[in-house]
Amino acid sequence: MAMIKIDGKDYDTDHLSDQSKAQLVNLRFVDTELDRLQAQIAVLQTARQVYVRALKDALGSDAPVPAANAN
């Protein structure tokens, strides 16, 4: 007997209809995917910060190009 709470109400999963059980499986899948994608976003944001730092370091060794004068 597993209990879940939805909108403040407790439900015994053993007594859910087949349709409700299917929707619960769908919901758990989506929640798992959201967690996975949020973790992936965190990894990508960290990598982006490293690349920005590396770019700034690389730009520091390059001579700046003078801006064109528009007269």
Judge contact between 3 and 13, C-beta under 8 A.
Answer: yes
Residue 70 — pLDDT band, cuts 50, 70, 90? low
Structural tokens at position 69: 């004068």
Q: Where are the domains of the chain?
A: 18-60
Q: What is the pTM of this model?
A: 0.70
Tens-place pLDDT, residues 5-48 = 999 999 999 999 999 999 999 999 999 999 999 999 999 999 99
Q: H-type helices in the chain, by residue range?
A: 18-60
Average pLDDT, the chain: 93
